[in-house]
Amino acid sequence: MSGKIRRQFKVCLIGDGYVGKTSLRRKYLREGFKRSYIPTLGVDFAQKSLIYKGSPTNLVIWDIAGQVAFQNLRRRYYEGSSGIILLYSVDDRSSFDSALKWIVEAHGFVKDLPPLMIVANKTDLRGTLRQEDIVTTEEGEAFAESVSQKLNAQAIFIETSAKTGKNIDETFETLTKMMIGDDEPEVVSQPVTHEISTSQTAIKTESTAPTSPTPQTTIATEPADVKSKNEIDPVTLLSSDSEHLQEEQIGLAMTQLQTLRAELKISEEELASTLSGLETDMLNLKNTVHVKRIMFEHLKEQLKTTREEWSEAYEKYTATEKRRKEEFAQRNKQIEELRARINDVGKRIRTRVSDLDMKKMSE
């Protein structure tokens, strides 16, 4: 099995929603690669294993959600980034206008920007739109050059189509080259295989004349006091000390050796495949644990804030309830006083009416 150290890089996909980040990633991963999807946490990550100039290399691709709801979490998702891919869509000028905001956010979280690919996606739609509605190649190139100069960062511009597959592999190959710091990329996107060479030795199993065995191929026989010289081999009908039998034994031993070597190669390849699968599973689990830990810490902070808000709201509720009771008592008192006055005035009116009636009757 290969003794080379496996390199690993964390790649962050950023950009507005609906620009094709997930489509780009899935197009690059193709079929047969495991994915871990965590939509509720605002991040989707997957692993790509490849060989770069003979060295095993892993790309852990983090597709970071652009929704405002996950803005507080994105700081943690940028941690440990080896490279960034910023996407905008050529048919959506607002996504191009937001590209600068994403660069500013990444720079604020990471400080020293890692290698950066600025990707203009959905180029297959250019022929279906009016020229004034699309983002031109010149605009994208100028933006990448501006970012590179102003932020002193490695920024390369490329145009892609996640629908047709245009420049998808080239995007990740170029980024891998920059992350490694190599001048000439040579990426082969295929599973790691482990080859063990075995020597192919010609075996002569039949002979028309006796041949003396050489020291390199002589097979030790049992001592003479254990096995009789005149003992006949039941298969070849030759005596046990026959040179022909010794040569036949050599051939059988070499055949067995070749079989064992082939079995060893298969076992080592199966072991390498198993280890590779376990490494992939462990990496996915590690990323899942990392994301859930970030989410847990975020929820704890939200819980703390919620408790403070609840305490403040409860104090306001208690004060309002007290004021309501006081206001009710005061208003109730005023109402009772008004009712008493109304009764008093009514009584006087009724007395006056009674006096007038008595006076009229006396007349």
- Whether the CB-CB separation of 197 and 61 falls below 8 Å is answered with no
pLDDT, tens only, 6-34: 788 999 999 988 898 888 998 998 853 44
In this prediction, residues 154-159 reach a mean pLDDT of 96
Closest CA to 48 of 60, 37, 32, 31: 60
Q: What is the Cα–Cα distance from 109 to 116, expressed in whole angstroms?
A: 15
**CA 315/CA 321 separation, integer angstroms:** 10
Domains of the chain: 7-192 (3.40.50.300)
Cα–Cα separations (whole angstroms), residue 136 to 27, 246, 291? 24, 80, 37
Q: What is the pLDDT of residues 117-138, one digit of tens each?
A: 999 999 999 888 887 789 999 9
Asked if residue 86 lies in contact with residue 18, where contact means CB atoms within 8 angstroms, the answer is no
d(CA 310, CA 327): 25
Confirm if 190 and 51 have CB atoms less than 8 A apart. yes
- What is the distance between the alpha carbons of residues 189 and 169, in angstroms, rounded to a whole number? 9
Q: What is the per-residue pLDDT across 213-257, written as a single tens digit (0 to 9) for each?
A: 433 433 344 444 444 445 665 555 656 666 665 666 667 776 787
Give 166's strand partners: 161
Q: Which helix (H) or strand (E) holds 56?
A: strand 55-64
Q: Is the pLDDT of residue 278 over 50?
A: yes
The pLDDT of 162-181, averaged and rounded, is: 93
Taking the model in full, what pTM does it have?
0.57
pLDDT at 115: 95
Please state, in angstroms and as integers, the Cα–Cα distance from residue 59 to each residue in 47, 93, 153, 262, 272, following that order.
6, 30, 21, 33, 19
Write down the pLDDT at residue 353: 81
Q: Which amino acid is at 316?
A: K
Is there a contact between 59 and 11 (Cβ–Cβ < 8 Å)? yes
pLDDT tens digits, 134-152 = 999 999 999 999 999 999 8
> What pLDDT score was predicted for residue 88?
96
pLDDT tens readout for residues 295-340:
788 788 888 888 888 998 999 999 999 999 999 999 999 999 999 9
Listed in order, strand segments (DSSP E) in 103-214 are 116-121, 155-159, 187-188
What residue type is assigned to position 199 of the chain? S
In angstroms, rounded to a whole number, what is the distance separating the alpha carbons of residues 353 and 363? 16
Residue 265: pLDDT band with limits 50, 70, 90: confident
> Average pLDDT, whole number, for the chain?
77
Q: What is the pLDDT of residues 45-95, one digit of tens each?
A: 788 888 888 888 889 898 887 666 566 677 778 888 999 999 999 999 999
